[in-house]
Structure 1
Amino acid sequence: MTSKIPLFKILWDEEDVENVGNEIKSGMNWAVGPRVEQFEKLIAEYIGTDYAAVFNSGTSALHSLLLAHGIKKGDEVIVPSFTFIATANSPMFMGAKPVFADIEEETLGLDPESVKKNITDKTKAILPIHYGGCPCKIRELREIADDNDLILIEDAAEAMGASIGDDKVGTFGDSAVLSFCQNKIITTGEGGAVVTDSKDIYEKLLLIRSHGRLETGDYFSSAGLFDYIDLGYNFRMSNITAALGISQIKKADKIIDMRQKNSEYLTRKIMEETDKIKLLPLPDGYNHVHQLCTVIAEQRDDLISYLKDKGVTTKIYFDPVHLSHFYREKLGYNCDLPVTEDMAKRTITLPMYPSLSREEMDFMAETIGKFYR
């Protein structure tokens, strides 16, 4: 049946439409233009870093960042398996090897103790994710990286605006990646960014994303010649897309506030209906932006089917990467990740978006209650 309640909806307004429309109506600068640099400045200001570089996707941003940090063939990068597959795949774009460490049950992020056990003389970097909008144990991972002279790269694709104390995610690592895919905190449809305090990394990223070309002006309107000084890709974000990002980022705090209030209301109503659903504990001082509403559910698979029949969309985030056909059969991975596999069997992600109504959340809670009764 058609879903009554989808997994996500995008919060947009007339400013989004106007910003994009103005760039289209200009009749020029659809690919490269001033909105890109403007969006980058707003991102860096919001996160609290010196630099931001935008890309056409979070995956191309991560690919470029690993290149910029010098990850190469023969290196190992410690990653979670409880993530979207791009996190694990990205090291292989350079010929490096993703090494899976287990997660912990509090934030569903990399377990620092498991990370320590997986460090070898080939380890070059640690690449944790901030699952669903909740910061991982990033301070502990920062300490491990420092103690072992490793690069720490934050995959903050799901967690723009999340923080520990006064520090936003994206500021703990050497660099970090954001995603603006359609279901994220803010969205440009597709898109991503790297944030960093390193001028060297930032300048390398500008080359990588645009064919290795030394940008000394606007390529499309300049009569001058441009030199190509390195190997690069076409990973640029368009000026039209950046215009949408500018209006979206202005709403970031509003979007986060609406998500947090909705998540608090929905989970409270579910707790009133049943004790068969458990919430993930939130460490003190952690600010969760609730890009996902993930809970632990008894009879999880039956609940998914029941909710689907009632018109409520759910999803499993994530099937462990190391159990995928590609990693098991083609790459021959055989990993011991008990917490990852256990949580993957028990978690369910419920609909969560800013415009979710009280009536819709009441319906979800009551439907879940009926299932368990």
Structure 2
Amino acid sequence: MTWNIPLFKMYWDQNDLNAITTTLSSGMNWAVGSEVTHFEHDLSENIGTKYCLTFNSGTSALHASLLAYEVGKSDEVIVPSFTFIATANAPLFVGAKPVFADIEEKTLGLSPESVLEHITPKTKAIIPVHYGGCPCMIHELREIADDHNLILIEDAAESFGAKIKGVKVGTFGDSAMLSFCQNKIITTGEGGAIVTDSRKLYEKMKLIRSHGRLETSDYFSSQEPMDYITLGYNFRLSNIAASLGLTQLQKVDTMIQMRKKIAEKYVTLLKKYAPKASPMLSPYGYDHVYQLFSVRLLDRNRLMEFLTSKGIMSKIYFPPVHLTHYYKKKLGYEISLPITETVAENIVSLPIYPGMSDEDLRTVVEAVGEFYQENQ
């Protein structure tokens, strides 16, 4: 379907085109090259960590991090069910068991109380998600991880640039995953990264990312024989993608400010429809970057149908993972997560992207109003 107003659009400019053209025109180093190293340096500097390693997706980054932490068979990893399925699948990739804890309603991130209830002697790690651009209750989760000697990996796929009292998401955990998929804050089309202060983790992930190869120089331009010292994968981000990531990163602050202004306008315009439409607002001191603009609605499914009839896209982020066919029928998960299930029944994401016009925003809000007027 062609949408009059899509859920998201990529924000790009001539600098993005020039960067990719320069890399392509070189006729060399499309897979591995200096732009990858440059992008990793700038990412770690932006987030405030010592190290960064890029991957071909956020999913690969999570997979590699669990391998590097030696999470495996007989281990349990606490995750939310209110997330994209990759968060829950990553433990399965390494033979561990994902254990679902419930969320809390302030940030829609993992509930510290629920996490505590799910810790067992087998628990090795916690992977909280910063939902939709809003930091979760990461201070409390950091304390729990420290108290129980657990690894804390932030899933910051949706929240690049988000902060709590000026401290950026991605610096609270032992490591953090970033995603650069096309609908994220910055994008390389597909891509991801792990940021960390651990040199040991960084070096282990370098091997995992590239076939277990001990690289002392650029593999593709060196005649030097290189040894393979462990099992690894082909998880590399291309130099082409990294060149785009660099120019996206240069304007990330501008793009975040654009998102915030659009979100502020949404909140103001939707006030007249409260409590039927309740935008997700972050707690005081939590700096939301609005990768998603999520609203909890009365009569959500019928409203989505109405918006679709107007050519306005909306989407449910997220249907609970524990209720998917694979987890419920194939893996046999029979659990109850009351807050997760309640939130997932009435939440919807409305269109938001840098450059969204005031006219399109008003069109979305007016369509919401029209629906409620017709269904009083």
Give unmatched runs, 5+ long, in structure 1: none
Q: Percent identity?
A: 60
- Residues 43-64 of structure 1 show CA distances to partners (whole Å, capped at 9, x for unaligned) of 0000000000000000000000
2:23 is the counterpart of 1:23: yes
Do 1:105 and 1:280's aligned partners in 2 also have CA atoms closer than 8 Å? no
**Separation (CA, whole Å) in 1 of partners of 2:218 and 2:348:** 47
Residue equivalent to 1:8: 8
CA distance in 1, matches of 2:335, 2:130: 22
Distance in 2 (alpha carbons) for counterparts of 1:265 and 1:272: 13
Q: Aligned-pair distance for 1:231?
A: 0.6
2:338 & 2:285 partners in 1: Cα distance? Answer: 28
Matched to 2:158, the amino acid is E
State the match for 1:309 in structure 2: 309
Distance 1:100 1:70 in 2: 20
Determine the structure 1 residue equivalent to 2:344: 344
Q: CA deviation at 1:281?
A: 3.5
Residue matched to 1:187: 187
After TM superposition, give the deviation of residue 3 of structure 1 in Å. Answer: 1.4
Distance 2:276 2:292 in 1: 19
Q: Aligned residue for 1:116?
A: 116
Q: CA deviation at 1:166?
A: 1.7
Output the CA distance in 2 between the equivalents of 1:128 and 1:218.
35
Q: Which residue does 1:86 correspond to in 2? A: 86
8 Å CA contact 2:107–2:137 kept in 1: the answer is: yes
Where has structure 1 moved over 4 Å in runs of 4 or more?
none
- The 2-side partners of 1:52 and 1:151 are apart by 18
Counting only pairs closer than 5 Å after superposition, residues 33-182 of structure 1 correspond to structure 2 as 33-182=33-182
Question: Residue 221 of structure 2 aligns to a residue in which SS?
Answer: coil
Counterpart of 1:341, as a letter, is: E
8 Å CA contact 2:163–2:286 kept in 1: the answer is yes
1:363 to partner: Cα distance? 0.8
| In 1, Cα distance between equivalents of 2:312 and 2:274 | 18
Partner of 1:226: 226
Does the 8 Å CA contact 2:300/2:348 hold for their aligned counterparts?
yes
Q: Cα offset for 1:273?
A: 4.7
Q: Structure 2: where are the runs of 5+ without partners? A: none
Secondary structure of 1:366 counterpart: helix
SS of 2:219's equivalent? coil
Distance (Å, rounded) in 2 between the aligned partners of 1:60 and 1:301: 33
Structure 1 equivalent of residue 215 of structure 2: 215
In the alignment, the residues of structure 2 paired with residue 257 and residue 226 of structure 1 have an alpha-carbon distance, to the nearest angstrom, of: 46
TM-score (norm 1): 0.99
| Mapped partners of 2:284, 2:290: distance in 1 | 16
Superposition TM-score, scaled by structure 2 size: 0.98
